[in-house]
Copies of this chain bind each other. A is one copy, B any other.
C-alpha cells in the first residue's frame, strides 16, 4: 500500500467516533440505529461516518430488511497495520539529495 492510500485509510480511522465504531464492530456487527444512542449524535452524522468507513473499505454493509448491518473488514484493518509496520524504503530520496549536494552531513 503506497503512502497516499495508507494516509487515506488512516484519515478514515483518525477520528474518535469512527475509531470507536471500528472497536464496536470488532465486537459485533451492528446497524446505524444502534450506534446513534451509543454516541449521542444524530442519525445522519452516524450515516456519514459509516459512509467514510465504507469508502475506505474498512467496513462492509449488508441490508437485512429495514436495517443495514455494518461489519468490520478485518483484512483491510490488518493491511493498514502491516503498512504502518512496514513503511516503504526511502533511500532513493536521500540519494537524490546527495546528488544535489543538499544532504546535511553533520559532525
Contact = CB atoms under 8 A, between A and B. Distances in A.
Summarize A's interface: helix, strand, loop or mixed: helix
Contacts of A90: 20, 23-24, 26-27
Report the contact-size class of chain A (Cβ under 8 Å from the partner): 35 or more
A51 B33 CA distance: 40
Nearest to A22: B87
Q: Please name the 6 residue pairs, one residue from A and one from B, whose CB atoms are nearest each other, closest first.
A: A10-B14, A11-B14, A14-B14, A23-B87, A7-B16, A24-B90
Given A3-B20, A10-B14, A22-B87, 9 more contacts: A3-B16, A3-B23, A7-B18, A7-B19, A10-B10, A14-B14, A23-B87, A34-B103, A37-B102
